[in-house]
Copies of this chain bind each other. A is one copy, B any other.
C-alpha cells in the first residue's frame, strides 16, 4: 500500500504512536475496565489524565505559575467572542480593542469583536506583518489581538526570543492576546509577555473540540454579565476546566500528544524540525516559476504553506496525481484557492520529501 501523508490544515495528522496507543487503550484504560470515553470526569482515573495533560503542556510551553491553562469547548472561532466577553470588562465601556490584521483569521476576530467593543485596526498586512513602528495603537485599549500564524494565508509573525519581532517597540502596558491555533507548540514562546494565548486543538494539539486558553490570573473575574457561565474564564479556571463536563476524550488524546512531544525533545526540537521541513518545501517553490507563493520570505509560515501553479488549469491534474501518490488534502482553502500543504509537528520530514519529489516530478524537473 502507498504510504499516506495527510497535509490537511485541520483537523490534521496526529502522531502514529498516539493513535496506536489510543486504539490499544480504547476498551480498557490501564486496567480500569473502562474506555476513557466512559469515565466520569470527576473520577480518579480521568482526573489523573487531566492533571498529566495540564502539567505536560505547562512544562512544554514553560507556562509561569501565575497563568491558568483552560481546556474549553467551542473552537478558536468561539474565542473571537469569548475573549472580548471576558476581557473588555477591565476597561470602562465601551472599550476599544486593537488588532493587527494579517489574514482571514484575524479578520474573523475583528468582525466578531465589533459586537462587544470598538475595534481599531492598528495595522494591516496581506503578504507579511507590518513593522511594529507602523502600528497605530489606541491609548488605553483593552488589549492588542494578533493571529501569530494565519492558517489560510500562510503568514507567520517573525519571532525573537519567544515573542513577535520588534515587540520591544510596544509599550509594556499593552496587553497582548495571541491566536496561536496553527503554530502553538512548534517553537518556544515566552508566555510571560502575553496576557492570553489561545489555540483550537485540531492543528498541533489533538482532535477538534478542545480549545486551549492560557490566561494570566489577574485577567480573570471581569466577564461581562451577558457572558455565558460555561464560558466565563474565571468559573472555568476555578473549577479546573470542570465547571462544565469537559471534552474528556479530546483532552486524553491531547495529553498523549504532549507526552509524544516531550519524548521528541519538546518545542525546541520541534522548531528545528519545522525549520528543516519548511526550508525543504519552500526551496521546491523557489527553484523556478512553475509554482508561486505570495508571502514575503520573513513571514512565510513554517506550518501552513499556500502555493499556486502558475498554470492554474493544471490544478485538478496536480491534485489527482498527488492523491495517487498518497499525498492527501492539498487543496487550498476555498477563500484563496490554489493549494496548501500544512506541515504540522506530526508531519514527518519523509512526508515533506515525498511532496517535494512529486512537485519536482509534476514540474518536469
> Residues on A close to B: CB < 8 A?
1-2, 4, 6, 8-14, 16, 19-20, 22-24, 26-27, 32-35, 37-41, 43, 73-75, 77-78, 80-82, 85, 112, 115-116, 200, 202, 206-210, 225-226, 228-231, 243-250, 253, 326, 328-329
Contact = CB atoms under 8 A, between A and B. Distances in A.
B209 A81 contact: no
A40 B333 CA distance: 11
A11 B75 contact: no
B208 A247 contact: yes
6 contacts: A37-B206, A77-B244, A77-B245, A80-B230, A85-B228, A202-B245
Contacts of A32: 4
Contacts of A35: 14, 19
Contacts of A16: 27
Contacts of A209: 73, 209-210, 246-250
A73 B206 CA distance: 16
Contacts of A228: 74, 78, 80-82, 85, 112
A245 B115 contact: no
Nearest to A326: B33
B37 A11 contact: yes
Contacts of A73: 73-75, 78, 209, 247
A249 B208 contact: yes
A34 B208 contact: no
Nearest 3 pairs of A and B residues by beta carbon: A209-B247, A4-B33, A81-B228
B37 A207 contact: yes
Given A4-B34, A73-B78, A207-B247, 6 more contacts: A19-B27, A23-B23, A73-B73, A74-B74, A75-B245, A208-B248
Nearest to A229: B112
